[in-house]
Every structure is written in C-alpha cells, then in structure tokens.
Amino acid sequence: MLRHWLMKSEPADCSIDDLLEAPGQTLDWVGVRNYQARNFMRDAMRPGDGVLFYHSSCALPGVAGVAEVASKAGPDATQFDPSSRYFDAKSSPDSPRWLQVRVRLVAKTRLLSLREMRGRPELSTMVLLKPGNRLSITPVTAAEWQAVIALLCPPEN
C-alpha cells in the first residue's frame, strides 16, 4: 500500500528546480538529522510513495511540486564526510545513524502556499499545520493528499 509524505527542503539548499534539473530528475534526500524523520524513512517509506515537495524557511513557503520515493532508505553519505555540514563524528559506516532516500520528480506545480493551505478546512488535519511542528518529513493521509493534488491540479472544464 502506497503512502504519502510531505518533505521539506530549503530552496537555497535544494529546490524543486534543482530536482527538475537533476540527472533523471532524481536526487538523494540528504541531511535529515531528526530521529523521527529518519525513522519515517527507515520504517515506513517505500519506493512509489507520493511526496509533496515543500519549500521551507523562505519568503513564500509551500508545496512546490510532487515527487515520489525512488529508493529504500540507505545510509546518508554526508554523515561520514568531514567537509559536509551534515557530518556526524559519532556516526560510522559500520553503524550509520542517518539515512536518506532518493526522490524522483513527478511534476513541478504552482506554489500552494502555507497561507493558502491554512485557509483550507480539508487540510486542517495535516501535521504540517499543527502548532509546533518542525519535522522535515511528515506523513500525509490519503484524503489530505487528494485535497492537495486537487488544489495543485484542478480538473479542466
């Protein structure tokens, strides 16, 4: 059974345009340094799962596109690289602490802003919209997924 996720990225680090321009329109989702988000990748994400690609920590945060999980979780190589800002001296190749998945672009869409999302009653249950939520990866229910997709890609008349 496919699941759905919202994955946050700061566009200055990795934007939907970076994914659009990447070879095969596929990128490693590196730099996750939160155990709960890591556990979502490890325990629940599977290839084919849907992803709402969310721009965060920017002037206009919101969903900028749709992607899919393209691989199972595996070690995030940046944790072993001392020159990486994601380096973790307590992690080792024999016992990695941090994981990554690959994501593949499905579609770049219009920006569905955080403000617009907050104004939609059908999205009121989204983890993203809960006070205090700061996770970079959150689950999205099937109903929330369908509502967001309908807002991003309204049917033509």
Written as six digits, the tokens of 4 are: 């759905």
Half-sphere exposure (Cβ direction) of 129: Cα atoms closer than 13 Å:
18
Query: Is a pLDDT exceeding 70 seen at residue 139?
Result: yes
- Separation of alpha carbons 20 and 111, rounded Å: 15
Q: Is pTM beyond 0.85 here? A: yes
Residue-wise pLDDT tens digits, 80-133: 999 999 999 999 999 999 999 999 999 999 999 999 999 999 999 999 999 988
Q: Which domains does the chain have, with CATH numbers?
A: 4-150 (3.10.590.10)
Q: Which tens digits make up the pLDDT trace of 18-71?
A: 999 999 999 999 999 999 999 999 999 999 999 999 999 999 999 999 999 999
For 28-78, the DSSP string reads E------HHHHHHHHHT--TT-EEEEEE-SSSS-EEEEEEEE-S--EE-GG
β-sheet bridge partners, residue 55: 9, 62
Percent of the chain whose pLDDT exceeds 90 = 94
pLDDT of residue 154 exceeding 90, the answer is: no
